Amino acid sequence: MADGAEDGRLRQISDRLEAIAAELEGEVADDERAAELAREAAELSSEAVAEANRRIREGEADSR
């Protein structure tokens, strides 16, 4: 995956997390919807952390 595509995916994750936060701050339909949003946020956060860690490892390898 090219850096531009990776940056694009991180932007998508960030945008979606912002939308989830806004929905959770508003009036969520019910507890089931809130739980669904929380699960999605957790999955997206995990994906973003994995990508950040991968970039850190690559940067460390490049600096050696």
| Residue whose structure tokens are 């956060």 | 45
Q: What is the pTM of this model?
A: 0.78
16: Cβ–Cβ under 8 A, 6 or more apart, which residues? 40, 44
Helix axis angle, 3-25 relative to 31-62, nearest 10°? 150
DSSP letter, residue 29:
S
- In the prediction, which pLDDT does 47 show? 96
User: What amino acid occupies position 47?
Assistant: E
Task: Dump pLDDT digits (tens) for 1-55.
Answer: 446 777 888 999 999 999 999 999 998 779 999 999 999 999 999 999 999 899 8
Please state the domain count of the chain: 1
- In which domain, by residue range, is 31 found? 3-62
Tell me which amino acid residue 12 is: Q
